[in-house]
Amino acid sequence: MQLYNTLSAEERAIMIDDAGQQRLTLSFYAYAKIQDPQKFRNDLFIAWNALDALGRIYVASEGINAQMSIPEENLEAFRTTLEVYDFMKGIRLNEAVEHDDHSFLKLTIKVRHKIVADGLNDDTFDVTNIGVHLKAKEFNEILDDPNTIVVDFRNHYESEVGHFKGAITPDVETFRESLPIINEQLKDHKDDKNLVMYCTGGIRCEKASAYFKHQGFKNVYQLEGGIINYAKQLKEEGLESKFIGKNFVFDNRLGERITDDIVSQCHQCGKPCDNHTNCENDGCHLLFIQCDECKAAMENCCSTECLEIIHMPLVDQVRLRTGKQVGNKVFRKGKSENLKFKHSGELPETALATAQKPSDIRQKIKVKKVLLGKAEHYYVKAQVGQFTVENHELNVGDKILISGPTTGDQELVLDKIIVNGAETQSAKVGDKVTFEVPFRIRLSDKVYKILD
């Protein structure tokens, strides 16, 4: 039986658009003793694949951690698949502040040693002996207590774009790094301070609270459901937000706005900005903050070196990164000497700018289109793109859509095409077609014919 994806992310995105269903982005976790994680994983894949559920899920003998995208009409059926397991009955599903139909484009369920890597090898440590859960109103109240120390248990690139006021924001790249650092920093306050912690959805704090209780801290608290659930309760109850900025999320959105405050800067020019991106050079793939102006000037690259590389022939790009632990093999977490305005550790609590009100990111109007083919090359100086026609026929006068993760959705009307080296009026399946494209295209881009 098939227990893996057979569609590419691009193919899945097309299917989602064609289906026209509204999808929900949600997350959940549960610590529990799972005897056979591999069987558990396989059973989940079969059940969720049937519901067109997508996402990134980790399972281990200690539980499950999931971030997912689910058709709204399948939500109750999805809940039923969870209720099969006693430890997930009544589980809280953290719904995203901003839903995006393309937040996940594959169903990936992996078996791991632990659902949250902690670097601990202590058999006496009980991960279920957790701290006190606080709802948003209670969390706000305890933050006002002078005996409270609040700690952000996320990584530097997460806290940089948004955090709670007054929080300790460790300059770390992994959760496991933060545990000994905070333990050493607060070792003299095990009895006299409230140790209050938070993270994205609650899973890291769940383990951290148990760890610090194990280390002898008396008053340990955690934000129930993390920042995601906090933001939801703010809206429902009309509460003041003690969080400032954007909440980094681990899906294609890379963030959802909690307040309109921008507290970080473009890492290249210093302009107020909190939009993360990944370097266009697959041999780098650095995660960093980049404003629209720098994105256009640097073509989504983190440095002039990477900008030069993406203009090399693909074969040379592959040769440069062969044998190196780069690209998608390692998620480079936003630290580089090239980033002049990168900040970590102690972070500002005042806004640098106010974000513009976002438009509704759900796709309201479905453009009727058919897939024609894919991009083969882009001639930068001539501003000419080359494409292979794989489906249907292309004619002068056709309105087309060029679409890709970086290019976005760009529409053109063809007034001239070159087919297999000669100017003509139409192209058929198998033809190589070139025409003027007034913007840079990538090899991952697809070309569609827009139908009336």
Q: How far apart are alpha carbons 385 and 403 in whole angstroms?
A: 13
Q: How far apart are alpha carbons 281 and 310 in whole angstroms?
A: 6
Q: What is the mean pLDDT of the chain?
A: 87
Tokens 């990584």 correspond to what residue? Answer: 155
259, 349 contact by CB (below 8 A): no
Q: Any bridge partners for residue 132, and if so which?
A: 221
246, 157 contact by CB (below 8 A): no
Predicted TM-score of the model (pTM) = 0.68
Q: How far apart are alpha carbons 333 and 347 in whole angstroms?
A: 17
373, 391 contact by CB (below 8 A): yes
How confident is the model over 201-247, as pLDDT tens digits? 889 999 999 999 999 999 999 999 999 999 999 999 999 999 999 99
Tokens 């994983």 correspond to what residue? Answer: 41
How confident is the model over 127-154, as pLDDT tens digits? 888 999 999 999 999 999 999 999 999 9
Tokens 């990168």 correspond to what residue? Answer: 342
Q: How far apart are alpha carbons 452 and 450 in whole angstroms?
A: 7
Helical packing angle, 37-49 and 75-83, nearest 10°: 160
- For the question of residue 306 being annotated catalytic, the response is no
Q: How far apart are alpha carbons 72 and 79 in whole angstroms?
A: 12
What are the residue ranges of helices labelled H in 28-132?
37-49, 75-83
Q: What is the per-residue pLDDT for 324? A: 66
- Residue 61, classified by CB atoms within 10 Å of its CB into exposed (0-12), middle (13-18) or buried (19+), is middle
Q: What is the b/e burial string over 170-180, where b = at least 16 CB atoms within 10 angstroms of the residue's CB? A: bbbbebeebbe
- Residue spans of the chain under pLDDT 70: 1-2, 4, 6, 19-20, 324-332, 334, 357-367, 405-406, 452
Q: How far apart are alpha carbons 435 and 203 in whole angstroms?
A: 51
Q: How far apart are alpha carbons 67 and 47 in whole angstroms?
A: 16
Q: Of 402, 395, 397, 396, whose CA–CA distance to 369 is shortest?
A: 402
Q: What is the per-residue pLDDT for 319? A: 86
